A and B are shown apart, each in its own frame.
Chain A
Amino acid sequence: MPDLSVRLGTLELKNPVIPASGTFGFGYEMARFYDLDLLGAISLKGTTLHERYGNPTPRIAECREGLLNAIGLQNPGVHAVIEHEIPRLRQVYHGPVIANISGFALEEYVETAALFDACPDVDLLEINISCPNVKHGGMAFGTQPEAAREVTEAVKRACKKPVYMKLSPNVTDIAAIACACKEGGADGLVLINTLLGMVIDPRTGRPVVSTGAAGFSGPAVKPVAVRMVYQVYAATGLPVIGVGGVATADDVIEMMSAGASAVQVGAQNLVDPWACRNIIEELPHKMQKYGIEALSDIVGRAHRA
């Protein structure tokens, strides 16, 4: 029987497949599609200190092999997430939970992260310094090495749980940002968030999404994600959760070969709500086909000559 288990530092996952933040709500509503305990872990909808409505609609546009979104971090705020959303998730899911945290100021990141750190149902903190869809904050912290290091350091000081920084691809040197996070004490990295894109309606001549530019994801972005995971793995040696365009078991194997210890599935959940389950079921067959006995053996194998 092929071994699908992987490790993120000290956290053991039964398999590397994790629904990405923002594509799976707070999880519990997805239990009507399949048994969530099949999943390696779940990354919760991006959470801020205070409740947010997000951006005006339209928030979605389609493009070839992907979509644009500008949800704008709609969420009920960290207190409601801890009091209502996580308990509801725990009724239907018993595996590892990743809290995804966003902020508009350093203090907000720290306060929100500390609340999740104190929540016994959260196993890992994913600090989103890469949201392209909010003004002031979000991606601003993830595009300058010094700012990325400061957020990492501040959150690490306030938290005991593993801190993973979620990085933006909208930078000229992803390795420099990753190294800055490592210097700040990050336990791991999650990449990539969405690429900043735009879709214009040919009939109206105007951008489809209300914010104009928006976050581009889907199968089209996978080569960018694989390249960045490869670079960051080489530059930092930290555990990496690879995300971006993953839709099949082959994509998981590719991402892990580049250096990812686990993999998140994002946009694909939106076009196929059973995507994660299907990938998990497909993985043993692909492993057998490629002669892989344990998935954890292939992490970063693209770097080995």
Chain B
Amino acid sequence: MEQRSLYTILENAPLAQDVFRLRLLGDAGWIKRPGQFVNIALAGKYLRRPISVCDWDGDVLTLIYKVVGSGTEQMSRMAPGEKLDLLTGLGNGFDAAPARGKKIALAGGGVGVPPLYGLARVLSRAGESVCCVLGFRSHADVFYEHEFRALGCDVRIVTDDGSCGAKGFVTDVLKSLDYDYYFACGPQPMLRAVHALGKEGQLSFEERMGCGFGACMGCTCKTLTGYKRICVDGPVLLSGEVRFDA
């Protein structure tokens, strides 16, 4: 259920190149699954900024975002103690149930990595063993490698230029792994490549949104099961329904 609430910034600090971690004090009780998102209002900006939830604990919400435009740049200059107006309760999130007892791989690219952290926590608490392949552009962009390790995950880092971990794409490492269920979040070309490996899994998509709650049809994509709005029918879609040819 969507709600509009004010959150207080506890921390808003750089984590990697142009990447910030935002810890917010406020209601986290709305979260049903990892992979859901919030839509953040910013002073002087007409539309809200959709950002996925990285983690949550009690009344603290952790978001990780990348500065990509003037809105996120403005957000990066906000200080602890300042308030943020969030629309919460958005998106379907990852369903951990179908992965139970399977050999699970998480595939993340860039700012697609954060929602996989909350998922990794849920999975490892449930006793699942998780292998993560996290892709970044270069060493300066890498974040949360140790946080994933601390959850007990087997973590492989991949960078475009090989400055950290393996050189190449997420799928270069992923296809060498023994897994039978995956969760992926990252840029469209990465999702397409992960999907093309043919295993069963769930993919979280990103799209420019108008509202974030299903009213405007701004983020609709074609799937094998009909038109889906990334904001309310997603952002997580099943590997069996996505199509990249449309």
Binding site for B on A (CB under 8 A): 22-25, 29-30, 32-33, 45, 53-54, 57-67, 69, 71, 74, 208, 218-219, 267, 269-274
Contact = CB atoms under 8 A, between A and B. Distances in A.
Contacts of B47: 60, 62, 67, 270-271
The A interface, classified by DSSP as helix, strand, loop or mixed, is: loop
A273 B46 contact: no
B93 to A, nearest CB: 17
Q: Which of B71, B217, B227 has the most CB of A within 10 A?
A: B217
B46 A69 contact: no
A154 to B, nearest CB: 28
Contacts of B211: 23, 269-271, 273
A69 B210 contact: yes
Interface in B39-94: 41, 44-48, 71, 87
A216 to B, nearest CB: 11
Contacts of B214: 25, 29
A65 B46 contact: yes
21 contacts: A23-B216, A25-B214, A25-B217, A32-B1, A33-B2, A45-B217, A57-B219, A59-B208, A59-B217, A60-B209, A60-B210, A60-B218, A61-B208, A62-B46, A62-B47, A67-B47, A74-B220, A218-B46, A219-B46, A271-B211, A272-B4
A185 B227 CA distance: 38
B207 A271 contact: no
Range class of the B interface residue count? 20 to 34
Contacts of B44: 64
A74 B47 CA distance: 21
B244 to A, nearest CB: 13
Contact of A54 (B208, B213, B217): B217
A219 B216 CA distance: 17
Contacts of A23: 211, 215-216
Interface in B2-21: 2, 4
B122 interface: no
Contacts of A66: 46
Contacts of A63: 46
A25 B215 contact: yes
Contacts of B4: 272, 274
Contacts of B208: 57-61, 208
A54 B220 contact: yes
B149 interface: no
A57 B216 contact: no
